[in-house]
Structure 1
Amino acid sequence: MKQYLELCNYVLEHGVRKEDRTGTGTISVFGYQMRMNLQDGFPLLTTKRVPFRLVATELIWFLKGDTNLRYLLEQNNHIWDEWGFQKWVESKEYTGPDMTNFGLRSQEDPEFEQLYKQQLAIYQQRVLEDDRFAEQFGDLGNVYGKQWRSWEGADGQVYDQIQYIIDEIKRNPDSRRLLCNAWSASELKNQQLPPCHYAFQFYVHDGKLSCMFQMRSNDVFLGLPFNIASYALLTHLIAHECNLEVGELIYTGADVHIYSNHIEQVQTMLEREPRALPTLKLNPELKSIFDVEWDDLELIGYDPHPPIKAHVAV
């Protein structure tokens, strides 16, 4: 993953200061690409620990076509909590302490941070236990799972883009239409967070499956290591179902940025020496990508440096 560290250095050296939706501020570059050979190992960052279980259960959530946080909370996966929480605290139903700009305020005010954690815990428990609440405030709208598995076309039909890709690989591996698109202009108002990784495409050559994914906006420190691992896992799963080996994973980013409150963490990470990549083992009995569960995945030889904590910008 030396390429990822080179990207971090590039953004620090060439990035420009930009404001952003969250009010945090970033150092940003426009346009960057990395190519990773998946035959060299599973590209999970080693200069800090990246929780593979969270990467995998999030992808499984997408593949289920799910958009409700309940599944993720049942898996003890909290990487999307803040967006559902925001939906609740901005509603008329919320009557607790003022949570305006909770993302920034929780970083700057320890007393407020405790209030925020209390309200977030209430939110999480209600999503898990209250069906009505979960339906109203646990659903994030037409985000990745919906777009991947139930794309609504202008013709009024619903399309499963992942199933189409798998079927097309099997019948026509040279197809240039092995593409999934999550960006729908008409759906943006119904999405708690518009897709950051908005499209991906597959390519078959010499018995190997390669994937290129595109990102309109990319948090380099927290988001990108997850994105790389997620699309590597997706490529492994589709290759497994289609009896192919894995090839390359290609990342193309547009607004590639480091948040201003992540700079110290990035610098700490850059002082560390990368370690050997792990390998991924899939359950050989797994037949369909849509049946995959956490127990079907085994990561072998992952020996990263310790985790580095940082606040997510909401």
Structure 2
Amino acid sequence: MKNHVDEAYLELCKHILDEGTAKGDRTGTGTWSTFGYQMRFNLQEGFPLLTTKRTAFRLIATELLWFLKGDTNVRTLIAQNNHIWDEWAFEKWVKSADYRGPDMTNFGHRAAIDNQFNTIYKEQMAIFQEKILQDDTFAQIYGNLGPVYGKQWRSWPDATGGTIDQIKNVIDSIKNNPDSRRHLVTAWNPAEVEDMALPPCHSLFQFYVADGKLSCQLYQRSADVFLGVPFNIASYALLTHLIAKECHLEVGDFVHTLGDAHIYKNHLIQVQEQMSRDARALPQLLLNTDKESIFDYEMADLMIEGYDPHPSIKAPIAV
């Protein structure tokens, strides 16, 4: 079967390189950017884990389960050897009065171009990670990312002082009123954006039921195409599979709508390397059939079968 996932993703990369505009950004790295782009993936044709570079399903899945539990502290992820949120928590620490180590100003950019500084940065990051795991007070202060995705998904504050569980509500809505046009979850809470370590990039998603299948559309306001988008595709595909199973539906399409879709200028060589590779067969997702509720899953309940990608391609993250 043709791999439509890598094909669509690499076409996005080509579109940005051919048609994109050079723009500045808050990280100071610079990007090639385009605005308004959409990809559609038929989830019946395989699980959309890119094959033109290895994409770490374990990291994607543990992050999604973290969101679904309403967790906002990196301690949970670090304990599972998942470090995709570490930089934002680390930044909070090194900018605080409690930090006494070497100057970490602009650490993401400096670590990518200065090997000596990169060694120092890694030493400080290791200290940070150990303190998060061993010191409860430190973890509570510096591991907490603020009201990011998990908080908004599971505990959106309402006008009466209570909270709204958007994930539970959308599952109930799909089960009891499948033709509704209100199967929405939003992470963009204007009242709390400034309190978040990183305002939500994947900010709104909607489900759609037709012909016994569940489809999902994500609106992503800001898309780091090389590092972030492959994770986002697989994460929302996994979420769609989990909710479809609980609602006794098959999976349909995942529609990925991008606002500012950009390639960082220090990712150009990596993107070109990936574009030179041929796609391989998509893997399949296997779920533990004993689990009934989306909230009961653990990493051991999720498995990818038949994944044979090209090697991973490393690139610096812009913080």
What's the TM-score once normalised by structure 1's chain length?
Answer: 0.99
1:226-249 per-position Cα deviation (integer Å, ceiling 9, x unaligned): 000000000000001011000000
After TM superposition, the structure 1 = structure 2 runs for residues 6-45 of structure 1, keeping only pairs within 5 Å, are: 6-45=11-50
Equivalenced residues, count: 314
Q: Structure 2 CA distance, aligned partners of 1:228 and 1:30?
A: 18
- Which of 123, 135, 149 is residue 144 of structure 1 equivalent to? 149
Greater mean deviation of Cα atoms: 106-115 or 38-47 = 106-115
Structure 2 counterpart of 1:59: 64
- Which of 198, 217, 220 is residue 222 of structure 2 equivalent to? 217
- 2:85 is the alignment partner of 1:93: no
Structure 2 counterpart of 1:226: 231
- Which of 201, 205, 209 is residue 206 of structure 2 equivalent to? 201
Shift of 1:275: 0.5
Structure 2 counterpart of 1:167: 172
- Which of 122, 133, 151 is residue 128 of structure 1 equivalent to? 133
- 2:113 is the alignment partner of 1:108: yes
Q: Which runs of 5+ in 1 are unaligned?
A: none
Q: Structure 2 CA distance, aligned partners of 1:182 and 1:248?
A: 21
Structure 2 counterpart of 1:262: 267
Structure 2 counterpart of 1:240: 245
- 2:183 is the alignment partner of 1:178: yes
Q: Structure 2 CA distance, aligned partners of 1:189 and 1:47?
A: 36
Other structure's SS at 1:4 match: helix
Q: Structure 2 CA distance, aligned partners of 1:192 and 1:275?
A: 36
RMSD of the TM alignment (CA)?
0.6
Q: Structure 2 CA distance, aligned partners of 1:43 and 1:102?
A: 32
Q: Structure 1 CA distance, aligned partners of 2:219 and 2:288?
A: 29
Shift of 1:154: 2.8
Structure 2 counterpart of 1:294: 299
Structure 1 counterpart of 2:283: 278
1:150-206 per-position Cα deviation (integer Å, ceiling 9, x unaligned): 000233320000000111111111111110010011101210000000010000001
Q: Structure 2 CA distance, aligned partners of 1:190 and 1:129?
A: 25
Q: Structure 1 CA distance, aligned partners of 2:86 and 2:75?
A: 10
Stretches of 4+ aligned residues off by more than 2 angstroms: 154-157
Q: Structure 2 CA distance, aligned partners of 1:131 and 1:176?
A: 43
Other structure's SS at 1:307 match: coil
- Which of 153, 160, 164 is residue 158 of structure 2 equivalent to? 153
Q: Structure 2 CA distance, aligned partners of 1:296 and 1:167?
A: 23
1:252-288 per-position Cα deviation (integer Å, ceiling 9, x unaligned): 0000000000010000000100011001010000111
Q: Structure 2 CA distance, aligned partners of 1:63 and 1:295?
A: 16
What's the TM-score once normalised by structure 2's chain length?
Answer: 0.98
- Which of 89, 109, 133 is residue 84 of structure 1 equivalent to? 89
Q: Structure 2 CA distance, aligned partners of 1:56 and 1:8?
A: 24
Q: Structure 2 CA distance, aligned partners of 1:289 and 1:242?
A: 10
Q: Structure 2 CA distance, aligned partners of 1:74 and 1:216?
A: 30
Q: Structure 2 CA distance, aligned partners of 1:108 and 1:284?
A: 47
Structure 2 counterpart of 1:3: 8
Shift of 1:298: 1.1
